[in-house]
Amino acid sequence: MTQKQTIQGPGLPNIPWEERPAGSSAVMWRYSNNPVIPRDLIPTSNSIFNSAVAPFEGAFAGVFRCDNTCREAWIHSGRSPNGIDFEIDPDPIRFVCDEPEIAEHLEAYDPRVCWIEDRYYVTWCNFYHGPTIGMAYTNDFKTFHQMENAFIPYNRNGVLFPRRINERYAMLSRPSDTGHTPFGDIFYSESPDLCYWGRHRFVMGTKGGWQSKKIGAGPVPIETTEGWLLIYHGVLNSCNGFVYSMGAALLDIDKPWKVMYRAKPYLLSPQMPYECMGDVPNVVFPCAALADGDTGRLAVYYGCADSVTGLAFAQVDEVIDFVKTHSSL
């Protein structure tokens, strides 16, 4: 298919895909066979959600949040031939690490996977005297080399950009607290070497409605001709607890801490039974997006009710149009 290439990235002809259901005008629509990953895919899992999938050797691989039946959160490696059927390693990732002081793990969750230059980087919420951003790299999804934590506690939702910006690596993160943080804005940080992070910039904070309590970056930002497309989660504090939805914004290509457009309505909110019922009801939590540069197709993986993993689809041009048309900064 030839069309204006909005996505500044390669084609992904085998991206999982389903057309928008007849009669729907939604900008993002769900995979008809959701949840794409059930909670009990491996024998020891209580739940599998908030997980990251990336193109790998002509197929797909990823890092998956599997909470076990002791209710401990761990991240596991996995593969898929098609982005729909997954095989997840029953044992958690055991990182190779020559720094014993950072090698101890109490918990690991909410991974993101980002290809930069010559390898896949994994960021996740790592416990080091409190939640912070753990980092590792892998080339084969078998051996994972743990790096220094990006920040001191408390921080969550560390999401790398897929290339250097102004010659430096770049990451979004969300300073937090020790618990179920009742606040949260997105910040931008730079690094010359993926070890030392600084030049911190405020990106965006809470707004009304679905994103009034806290927000956090979701999948690795997608480079487009219109800016970095950031899909993120936003939280509303209802009388019955937090409600997690996902929305989108466009960030400046060279200064990604500058928000150019930000959609006021959400893209997807918890409405299906598997998003509304589970260990934590009313949660959609995006952690990964596949993008096909040739067709503009997007496939977004998101955690549902802290229990299972869902898949949703969109066309990048339509998402950009939606963000611009409904923008409120």
- Note the residues at the interface with ligand BMA (CB under 6 A): 50, 109-110, 180, 244, 280, 283, 285, 303, 306
Minimum CB distance to ligand BMA, residue 230 (Å)? 18
Distance in angstroms (rounded) separating the CA atoms of residues 176 and 121: 22
The smaller minimum CB distance to ligand BMA, of residues 161 and 244, is found at 244
The smaller minimum CB distance to ligand BMA, of residues 47 and 138, is found at 47
Distance in angstroms (rounded) separating the CA atoms of residues 246 and 244: 7
Minimum CB distance to ligand BMA, residue 324 (Å)? 29
Minimum CB distance to ligand BMA, residue 268 (Å)? 15
The smaller minimum CB distance to ligand BMA, of residues 284 and 316, is found at 284
Minimum CB distance to ligand BMA, residue 188 (Å)? 21
Minimum CB distance to ligand BMA, residue 220 (Å)? 17
Minimum CB distance to ligand BMA, residue 245 (Å)? 12
The smaller minimum CB distance to ligand BMA, of residues 76 and 297, is found at 76
Closest CA to 201 of 239, 274, 252, 256: 256
Minimum CB distance to ligand BMA, residue 280 (Å)? 4
- Residues 6 or more apart whose CB falls under 8 angstroms from that of 293 comprise 5, 7, 8, 9, 10, 11, 12
Closest CA to 122 of 3, 329, 287: 287
The smaller minimum CB distance to ligand BMA, of residues 50 and 173, is found at 50
The smaller minimum CB distance to ligand BMA, of residues 176 and 224, is found at 176
The smaller minimum CB distance to ligand BMA, of residues 110 and 223, is found at 110
Which run of H or of E encompasses 290?
A: strand 284-292
Distance in angstroms (rounded) separating the CA atoms of residues 133 and 266: 26
CB 29 within 8 A of CB 314: yes
Burial-class residue 23 by CB neighbours within 10 Å (0-12, 13-18, 19+): exposed
How large is the greatest C-alpha to C-alpha distance in the chain, in angstroms?
A: 56
Helix boundaries (H) for the chain: 100-103, 273-276, 316-325
Q: What order do you get walking across the sheet with 169-175 strand by strand?
A: 155-160, 169-175, 186-191, 198-204
